[in-house]
Amino acid sequence: MKALVCQQPGSFEYLEKESPAIQPGRAILKVKRIGICGTDLHAFEGTQPFFAYPRVLGHELGCEIVQLDADAGFEVGERVTLIPYFNCGECIACRNALPNCCAAINVFGVHVDGGMMEFISVPTSALLHGGDMSFDELALVEPLAIGAHGIRRAGVRSGEFVLVIGAGPIGLGIMEFGRIAGGQVIAMDVNDTRLNFCQDKLKVQHTINPLNEDVMQRLKEITNGDMPTVVIDATGNQKAINSAFLYMAHGARYVLVGLQKGELIVSHPEFHKREATLMSSRNATQEDFDHVMMCMRNKLVDPATYITHRVQFDEVKDKFKSWLDPKNGVIKAMVEL
């Protein structure tokens, strides 16, 4: 079978690999759709933590079962997606029902080879029934689950102001589920095209571009002087992350969904006087995946909104670099097999 391998930062190669053989407790899937996410882009750039090369990328997947254990609870030919965070089941996080931050986690397409190939072998325990959902929809469940998990971590309450910094695919998902939770969402990004997308497609009422607006003044105007009680970073940009500590209301929660390699720098007195809460949000859980799929089926989220670019698997090597350029307006690139 054909696989696309990121050999080193900036370099992809199509290679021939052995098709996987069935093993106990696993399923063989035909990959039908691959969503390109920020993790893939950062891996290609060489800026992704927790990463080693060479690596087959891809963990946002819509697949069809071609072979599996007889007692797996699934059927050959069934549409599925998967929870791509393979946990050990034994560490303190797993014992406390936090498999998303397992101490020995293997994320598909990050720590182990992922889905940019024709067939994959995965644990049947990671599969989710797709039912009547399309392959496009199934490939978008995972990135939306990241957003849903961030909102759940923040404990968003109806009516409160939720500032989401970064209007990439993950940030947009955070905005969607912030809205569904009843929050008044404020989108911040340096890209006006993406802010327009937030307004036009997601019906986000408030947007801020820090390159040409006074962020503090705009936040005070929007929140009637209170400032947001929830701030969520989805940029992974060190400057943006550190600056956002000043955007919190007193008593606010700050959730880091984006990830960068540097240090957090915060004025302790400013943080302390707010009695603020800082937390990270990593991956997602079964509960988040189920919530996303329910929201899709109930038409609370329209996954088709996110797909701006489509390519065939054979085109990915040549097209991938262009998706890093903001001028090309990529929200979500979808690969078809």
> Tell me: the pLDDT tens digits for 106-151?
999 999 999 999 999 999 999 999 999 999 999 999 999 999 999 9
| Average pLDDT of span 68-93 | 93
The pLDDT score that the predictor gives to residue 51 is: 78
Mean pLDDT, rounded, of the chain: 94
The pLDDT score that the predictor gives to residue 69 is: 82
Rounded Cα distance between 313 and 316, Å, is: 6
Q: Map out the domains of the chain with their CATH numbers.
A: 2-131+302-336 (3.90.180.10), 147-280 (3.40.50.720)
User: Global pTM?
Assistant: 0.93
| Average pLDDT of span 30-54 | 87
The pLDDT score that the predictor gives to residue 89 is: 94
Checking if the pLDDT of 48 tops 80, the result is no
The pLDDT score that the predictor gives to residue 38 is: 82
Residues of the chain with pLDDT > 90: what percent?
87
Please calculate the CA angle 179-185-187 and round it to the nearest 5 degrees.
Answer: 125
Rounded Cα distance between 43 and 46, Å, is: 5
* Overall size of the chain counted in residues: 337
Q: Measuring CA to CA, how many Å separate 329 from each of 103, 191, 307?
A: 36, 10, 11
Which residue stretches of 68-191 are H helix? 92-95, 135-154, 169-180
The answer to whether the peptide bond before residue 54 is cis (omega within 30 degrees of 0) is: yes
The pLDDT score that the predictor gives to residue 278 is: 97
Query: What are the tens digits of pLDDT across the range 274-314?
Result: 999 999 999 999 999 999 999 999 999 998 889 999 999 99
Query: What are the tens digits of pLDDT across the range 163-210?
Result: 999 999 999 999 999 999 999 999 999 999 999 999 999 999 999 999
Q: Please report, for the chain, how many H helices and E strands are present, in that order.
A: 10, 17
Query: What are the tens digits of pLDDT across the range 312-327?
Result: 999 999 999 999 888 8
Query: Which range among 99-103, 229-233, 248-252, 299-303 shows the weakest confidence by mean pLDDT?
Result: 299-303
